[in-house]
């Protein structure tokens, strides 16, 4: 089984060069953000060119083939992974496009169900959905609950107010600061661990604010209620480029923290679907569709060469 690698720092430059800033402000808790007003790449021709693979279609669980739809749980508030278009109803993002291409390869449709990040795994385990795709890090801890088909490589980044008025140069500078994270994420665990490092070093603990959405965190940061947001690198860079036409936030420079793969989540008892999704992703990598979608969104530096199952640490 091959291993994915931490996302190169070059992704910051790649995203910054590819993402165009937009005007407006975030709408906290609405499920939309000013990212929805950003130019969205037209990937229609890329996805429509994907041909159904009869063997993969035949390998799908009967419940999916009979429904003709892959029911996919997402956290649709995390640009450029998953977020809403300007209509506030249509999911867009590089993960949305990848899921459409995967479904096309499988010969079915795809339906996105928006839900809180913290409920994704339980919804999967209960059979409410077939799979999850929501910038969820594939970790050994999560592998005890579900399986993952890895499709992207990312890392953690720190987002701060423009101009760095709180002098945050890296993780150690978070000691004594108020930091916002989305609950039940790898970022939440990282900040909790970092707070422990602070106190063991004789410094003040981090005040951690846990929310259900990136939009809420952006509002907290803009209003000064927190001094930093810890998020996955693609989201942090995207938001820093688009929020307030790039005038609101910066991303602390440096190598990604705790780099690792994002994975499509599948229930442990559904191994056949896991293997079928893995083959579908590898098929898209081989025929170039995968690379075209990531390039369209400016996140090609996070591309993997092979989709593996449970490749995270």
| pLDDT tens for the chain, residues 1 to 313 | 222 333 333 344 444 333 332 323 333 233 334 444 556 899 999 999 999 999 999 999 999 999 999 999 998 988 899 999 999 999 999 999 999 999 999 999 999 999 999 999 999 999 999 999 999 989 999 999 999 999 999 889 999 999 999 999 999 999 999 999 999 888 999 999 999 999 999 999 999 999 988 889 999 999 999 999 999 888 888 888 888 989 999 999 887 788 899 999 999 999 999 999 999 999 999 999 999 999 998 788 789 999 999 999 9
Question: Which domains does the chain possess?
Answer: 14-154+258-302 (3.40.190.10), 155-256 (3.40.190.10)
Nearest partner of 255 among 230, 233, 240, judged by Cα: 233
The predicted pLDDT at position 124 comes to: 95
The predicted pLDDT at position 72 comes to: 98
CA 284 to chain centre: 19
Query: CB under 8 Å to 147, separation ≥6 — which residues?
Result: 265, 266, 267, 268, 271, 274, 309, 310
């Amino acid at each position: 089984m091959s291993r994915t690698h931490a996302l190169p720092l070059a992704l910051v430059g790649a995203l910054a060069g590819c993402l165009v800033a937009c005007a407006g402000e975030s709408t906290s808790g609405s499920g939309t953000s000013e990212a929805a007003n950003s130019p969205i790449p037209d990937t229609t021709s890329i996805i429509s060119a994907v041909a159904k693979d009869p063997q993969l279609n035949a390998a799908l669980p009967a419940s999916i083939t009979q429904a003709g739809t892959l029911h996919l749980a997402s956290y649709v508030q995390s640009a450029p992974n998953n977020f809403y278009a300007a209509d506030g109803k249509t999911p867009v993002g590089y993960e949305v496009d990848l899921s459409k291409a995967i479904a096309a390869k499988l010969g079915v449709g795809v339906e996105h169900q928006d839900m809180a990040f913290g409920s994704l795994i339980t919804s999967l385990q209960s059979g409410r959905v077939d799979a999850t795709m929501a910038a969820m890090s594939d970790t050994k801890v999560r592998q005890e609950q579900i399986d993952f088909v890895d499709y992207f490589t990312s890392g953690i980044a720190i987002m701060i107010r423009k101009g760095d008025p709180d002098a945050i140069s890296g993780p150690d500078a978070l000691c004594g600061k108020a930091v916002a994270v989305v609950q039940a994420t790898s970022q939440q665990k990282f900040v909790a661990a970092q707070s422990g490092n602070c106190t063991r070093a004789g410094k003040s603990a981090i005040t951690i604010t846990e929310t259900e959405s990136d939009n809420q965190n952006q509002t907290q940061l803009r209003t000064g209620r927190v001094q930093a947001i810890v998020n996955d690198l693609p989201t942090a860079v995207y938001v820093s480029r688009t929020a307030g036409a790039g005038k609101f936030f910066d991303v602390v420079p440096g190598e990604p923290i705790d780099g690792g793969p994002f994975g499509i989540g599948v229930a442990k008892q559904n191994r056949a679907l896991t293997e079928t999704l893995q083959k579908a992703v590898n098929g898209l990598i081989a025929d170039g569709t995968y690379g075209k979608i990531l390039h369209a969104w400016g996140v090609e530096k996070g591309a993997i060469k092979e989709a593996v199952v449970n490749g995270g640490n």
